[in-house]
Amino acid sequence: MRWRSPLPLPLLLLFLLFSLLVGRSRGKSSSFRICAFNIQNFNSIKAANYRVMHTVTRIVSRCDICLLQEVKDPQLTAIRSLQAALNRYSGRETDRYDPYHYMSVSSGTLGNAANDMQQYVFIYRNETAKVTGQHQYQKKQSFVREPFAVRFHSDKTVMKDFVLVPLHTAAQQAVQEIDRLYDVHQEVSRKWNTTNVMFLGDFNAGCAHMTRADRKRIRLFTEKGFYWLIGDKVDTTVRDITNCPYDRIVVHGQSFLKNIRPYSAQVFNFAKEFKLSKERVLKVSDHFPVGVELKCSAHLPQAPPLLLLLLLSLSVIVRSCLSAL
């Protein structure tokens, strides 16, 4: 006996084409991830290490926006090498590292010591995020490495506009610097007329540098409206001798909090995920990255023009068949 489809042929073809379209859409990322990574002395020498760069590329390519700290690269040579690795392309779409084009925005060099000048660098996917503003906090007496605030816009997220404020504290004055982020929040909120502000980075916010007793001296704890997404019991360090929640993500406002995907704020243990030895991991950094996901807008899949034409033609045939029944 010959098998017969329970659907008329035009309807079956329409169903198959729609399935193909949905399948194409599922191949693209449906999340929007923001990450922060203390990449530990990242410079042109470190970037010349193929194994290190391969691992860093895999880490950064997970994120729509990735903040890098402890970048010591005033000429941006290492950052250009990282972007080249992320964007490598030899003429065919299948040869790309992934379907995105990565760009970057960097602060100037920051710090008090000539041998420890650092930069904050954001690497982001041009297809999912756009830089709409940047602001360097200027009160040098408040921070060793003043925050470099960047405003982003994304059509992919429910919350279209938000500000990211990085901080890598000086460990011995972590409590004072974390507290002064409140002043930075006031400044950038007035500047861009927004309450959608996220603080992220290596705050040294744990162990001996920030204890529970210190919270009463930190306005990001005592003032209402600030939400710490990485908990005190999380270990963001690589070495076995430390178990500290140094790297943090804090958001301001209920509207920002409601646009965070629940339970998405986590440490990315790339040693475990990539099956790397402790020795190889420590050549990359002594910190693990932290990240969080924003809720995405619900978009219908975008079809290629030929597929749209086929769907339109089949819809006409289907209507004709149904009207003849």
pLDDT value of position 282: 98
Q: Over range 236-258, report the average pLDDT.
A: 96
Query: For residue range 8-67, what is the model confidence (pLDDT) as tens digits?
Result: 555 444 444 444 444 444 444 578 999 999 999 999 999 999 999 999 999 999 999 999
* Alpha carbons 54 and 60: distance in angstroms, whole number: 10
Query: For residue range 20-34, what is the model confidence (pLDDT) as tens digits?
Result: 444 444 444 578 999
Nearest C-alpha neighbor of 198 from the set 73, 34, 84 = 34
pLDDT value of position 140: 74
Q: Give the Å distances, CA to CA, from 140 to 114, 146, 147, 180.
A: 15, 7, 10, 11
* Alpha carbons 218 and 226: distance in angstroms, whole number: 11
pLDDT value of position 148: 98
At residue 287, the 3 state secondary structure works out as: strand
pLDDT value of position 99: 85
